[in-house]
Amino acid sequence: MARPQLKWAAHPPIAYFLAWAFLVFTALLEIYFVAAGLTYNTLVFVTSVGIVQSSVIALIFQHLREEPQSVKAFPLGSLVMLIILVSAAVTSVLACTPYLG
């Protein structure tokens, strides 16, 4: 049973603390940037922050960085489908003639 021991070494709790600090820090930064009006396009900005934060959560707290490609494919595949869906929806919404005028 030597393998599990190697795995702990590969994942000391320090990674968790670093990830946590990064998440809190980016959340603070996000608020600061939006509140101070420093963003160029707020929607794009917060979405990007969300994606970066999610990736850190997925890689560290959900341990995806240790997983083989086949497991990584689940969230990645879903993300791709979600992006297709949201962009198809958004374009068809924006292109539609609203009753609002």
Partner 1 sequence: MSSLRSWILRWLTTTNHKDIGILYMVTAMYFFLVAGTLALLFRVQLAMPESNFLPGKAFNQAVTVHGLVMLLWFLSPIQFGLANYFVPLQIGARDLAFPRLNALSYWLYLFSGLLLIVSFFVPGGAVDGGWTLYAPLNTSAYSPSKGFDLAVLAIVMLSAAITLGTVNFMVTIAKMRAPGMTWDKVPMFTWSILFTILMMLLAFPALAAAGILLLLDRLLGTTFFLSVEGGALLWDHLFWFFGHPEVYILLFPSLGMLADIISSFTGRPLYAKRFVLVAFMAATVLSYIVWVHHMFITGTSLLVRKIFSVTTALISIPFEMATLALILTLYKGRIRYTSPMLFAMAAIPLFIIGGATGVFNAAIILDRAFRGTYWVVAHFHYIMAGTALFAVIAGLYYWFPKMTGRMLSEKLAKIQLILAVIGINLLYFPQFLLIDMPRRIYRYDYAPEWITLNQLSTIGAFIFAASFVVALIALLHGLLRGRPSGDNPWGAWGLEWLTKSPPPPHNFDGQPVVTKDGRILIVPEKTLEEQGVDKVITGEAKVSVTGVMTPNGTAGHQSPSHAHGHGHAHAHHGSMAPMMLALGMFVAFVAMPLGNTALMALGALLAFASIAKWVLDEYRGRFSEPEPRYREEFPFVGIDKFKVGLWTFIAGEGFLFGSLVGAYIFIRTRSPAWTPGIELHDVAIGLFNTVVLFTAALAMGLAYYNARVGNVGLQRASLAFALALGLLFMFTKAYEWSKFAAEGYGLTSTMEAQLYYTLTGAHAAHVLVGVIASLYALVRSLRRPYGPQDARTLLYIGIYWGIVDIVWTFIFPMFYLI
Which residues lie near partner 1 (CB under 8 A)? 4, 7-8, 11-13, 16-17, 19-20, 23-24, 27-28, 30-31, 34-35, 42-43, 46-47, 49-50, 53-54, 57-58, 60-63, 67-71, 74-75, 77-79, 81-82, 84-86, 88-100
d(CA 11, CA 16): 9
Q: Which of 58, 49, 59 is nearest to 24 (CA)?
A: 49
Q: How is the chain split among helix, strand and coil, in percent rounded to 5?
A: 80, 0, 20
* Residue 28 or 40 with smaller CB distance to partner 1: 28
In the complex, minimum distance from the CB of residue 64 to partner 1, in angstroms, rounded to a whole number: 9
